[in-house]
Chains A and B, each alone.
Chain A
Amino acid sequence: MADRLERLVNLTATLLDTRRPLTLDELAERVEPRYPEDLAARRRQFERDKETLRELGVPISVHAVDGFGPEQGYRIDPAAYYLPDLSLSEAELAALHLAVTAVRLEGGAGREALAKLGGLAGEGVDEALAQVTVSPLVAVLFDAVSRRCPITFTYRSEPRRLEPYGVVLRWGHWYVVGHDLDRDAPRAFRIDRLDGDPDVGRPGSFEPPSDVDAARFVRDDPLAYGEDRPVEARVVVDASRAGWVVEQLGDASVVDRRPDGAVEFELAVVNRAAFRSWVIELLDHAEVVGPADLRAEVVAWLGAVAHKGAM
Chain B
Amino acid sequence: MSPRPLVGPRLRRVLALVPYVLAHPGVAIDDLAERFEVSTAELERDLELLPLCGLPPYTADRLIDVWIVDGSVEIRLAEYFDRPLRLTPAEGLALLAAGRALLSVPGSDPTGPLATALDTLEGALGTRGRLAVDVGASGHLEQLRDAAAESARIEIDYYSFSRDEMTTRVVDPWRVFHAFGAWYLAAWCHRASAERLFRVDRVRTVRPTGEHFDPVGRSGTEPAGRSGTEPAGRSGTEPADLVYRPRPDDLRVTLRLAPGAVWVVESYPHESAEQLPDGSWRVVLAVSEVAWLERLLLSLGPDVDVEGPPDATRIAREAALRILERYR
Contact = CB atoms under 8 A, between A and B. Distances in A.
Interface of A: 1-2, 4-6, 8-10, 12-14, 16-17, 30-32, 52-53, 55-59, 78, 80-89, 91-96, 98-100, 102-103, 105, 108-121, 126-132, 134, 136, 138-140, 142-143, 145-146, 165-173, 211-215, 218, 240, 243-244, 247, 276-277, 280-281, 283-284, 287, 295, 298-299, 301-306, 308-310
Contacts of A8: 7, 11
B41 interface: no
A306 B84 CA distance: 66
Nearest to B37: A120
A85 B124 CA distance: 9
Contact of A171 (B85, B136, B301, B325): B136
A59 B86 CA distance: 9
Contact of B49 (A2, A31, A84): A2
B210 interface: no
B130 A212 contact: yes
B98 A103 contact: yes
A134 B131 CA distance: 13
A80 B3 CA distance: 34
A305 B296 CA distance: 12
B50 to A, nearest CB: 8
A309 B301 contact: no
B15 A108 contact: no
Contacts of A211: 129
B14 interface: yes
B69 interface: no
Nearest to B239: A131
Given A83-B83, A169-B132, A218-B132, 12 more contacts: A1-B7, A2-B49, A32-B56, A56-B85, A82-B84, A105-B94, A108-B94, A116-B85, A117-B84, A168-B131, A302-B298, A305-B316
Given A132-B97, A132-B133, A142-B89, A306 B324 contact: yes
Interface SS of chain B: helix
Contact of A118 (B4, B35, B55): B35
B147 to A, nearest CB: 15
B15 to A, nearest CB: 7
B323 interface: yes
Contact of B80 (A17, A138, A295): A17
Contact of A166 (B129, B306, B314, B316): B129
A295 B15 CA distance: 65
B113 A94 contact: yes
B302 A304 contact: yes
B250 interface: no
Interface in B98-120: 98-99, 101-103, 105, 112-114, 116-117, 120
Contacts of B58: 32
B95 A30 contact: no
Contacts of B117: 88, 92-93, 95-96
A234 to B, nearest CB: 14
B125 A52 contact: no
Instruction: List the 3 closest A-B pairs by CB distance, nearest first.
Output: A172-B181, A309-B317, A119-B35
Interface in B27-84: 32, 34-37, 49-50, 52-58, 78, 80-81, 83-84
Contact of A92 (B16, B98, B103, B114): B114
B169 interface: no
B127 A109 contact: no
Contact of A240 (B81, B113, B166, B295): B166
Contacts of B325: 284
A211 B321 CA distance: 51
Contacts of A16: 80-81
Contact of B127 (A14, A53, A94, A146): A146
Given A6-B52, A131-B239, A172-B181, A306 B8 contact: no
Nearest to B179: A131
A140 to B, nearest CB: 7
A211 B14 CA distance: 39
Interface string B274-291: 000000000000000001
B250 to A, nearest CB: 21
B55 A13 contact: yes
Given A52-B8, A304-B301, A99 B181 contact: no
A177 to B, nearest CB: 9
